[in-house]
Amino acid sequence: MSGRPDAMLEWLAKGTAAFEAAVHLATDTSLLRPSYLPGWSRAHVVTHLARNADALRNLLNWARTGVETPMYAGPDQRAREIEEGARRPAAALRADLLQADGRLAGELDALPDPCWEATVRTARGREVAVREVPWMRVREVWVHAVDLDNGTSFDDVPLEVCAALVDDVAAGLRARTDLPPVELRAEDGGRTWLLGVPRPAETLTVTGDLPSLAAYATGRPVPGPLYAGGGSVPALPAWL
């Protein structure tokens, strides 16, 4: 597959709109309240999304110019900017998010077709084609919209995005030996995913609808029931 990832860019546009709407609905006071992420207020989450947009623009610039441009100068810079940014007034938080989203959208729209196959490196050191950048942002906007903990749940995430999130988690956990193997099964019987190294006699099947499976796989609040053959649903290691 090559060229401009139009379908992924459509997912991104919808996710960006959903996150911005969730922030718009939050009152100034409620932005100071805790998010679902330990130690972070909703203001921290909003600031993180704005800085992540700028970080991903660095990767687009790398692809366009050929000049290595890391997402962040370092983990200390990232943490400091989020902490400082979260202290700003609500109006400044909202404006910063909208401006950062607009800058990223503009860069994505203007990126020449040949640049989508350029190789860059993520903040975690993984080499990827730039065509993965929209998906990296899709994950951020949809999952963190839930993390705001002000009304958005995985039931609001499009089913195709839920499935792609479980694909992502399964790929990351496929070789992990520090968890019992878990098979995720969509309740309509259409899809299954294996987390962990397969051991047939030990594999536990967890069944649920796609939004609930995506929430469970990413470590977020599950909107619907999950079934584990009469047993308890095991905890999973951190996804990212």
Average pLDDT value for residue range 22-42:
96
Predicted local distance difference test score (pLDDT) of residue 231: 83
- C-alpha torsion 165→25→134→105, nearest 10: 170
d(CA 130, CA 32): 35
Q: What is the pLDDT of residue 151?
A: 93
Of 168, 182, 151, nearest to 218 by C-alpha is 168
Please give the full DSSP string across 39-77, using - where no structure is assigned: T-BHHHHHHHHHHHHHHHHHHHHHHHH-----S-S-HHH
Query: Is 169:196 a contact under the CB 8 Å cutoff?
Result: no
Rounded to two decimals, what is the model's pTM?
A: 0.94
Dist. CA 42–CA 199, nearest whole Å: 40
Q: Which single residue is written with the structure tokens 């496929």?
A: 174
Q: Which two tokens stand for residue 199?
A: 């051991």
pLDDT over 90, % of the chain: 85
- Write down the mean pLDDT value for the chain: 94
Tens-place pLDDT, residues 201-238: 788 999 999 999 999 999 999 999 999 987 899 999 88
Mean pLDDT throughout 114-122?
97
151: left (phi over 0), alpha (psi -120 to 50) or beta: left
What is the DSSP secondary structure assignment for residue 117, as one 8-state letter? G
Which domains, from first to last, does the chain contain? 6-152 (1.20.120.450), 159-217 (no CATH)
Mean pLDDT of 83-95: 96
| For residues 166-192, average pLDDT | 91
- Max mean pLDDT range (64-78, 146-160, 221-235): 146-160
CB neighbours of residue 178 within 10 Å: 8
Helices H, strands E: what count in the chain?
7, 5
- For 1, counting Cβ atoms within 10 Å of its Cβ (0-12 exposed, 13-18 middle, 19+ buried), the class is exposed
Band of residue 74 on the pLDDT scale cut at 50, 70, 90: confident
- Average pLDDT of the segment spanning 23-34: 95
Give residue 2's pLDDT. Answer: 63
Spatial separation of the C-alpha atoms in residues 139 and 15, rounded to whole Å? 9
Q: What is the SS3 assignment for 192?
A: strand
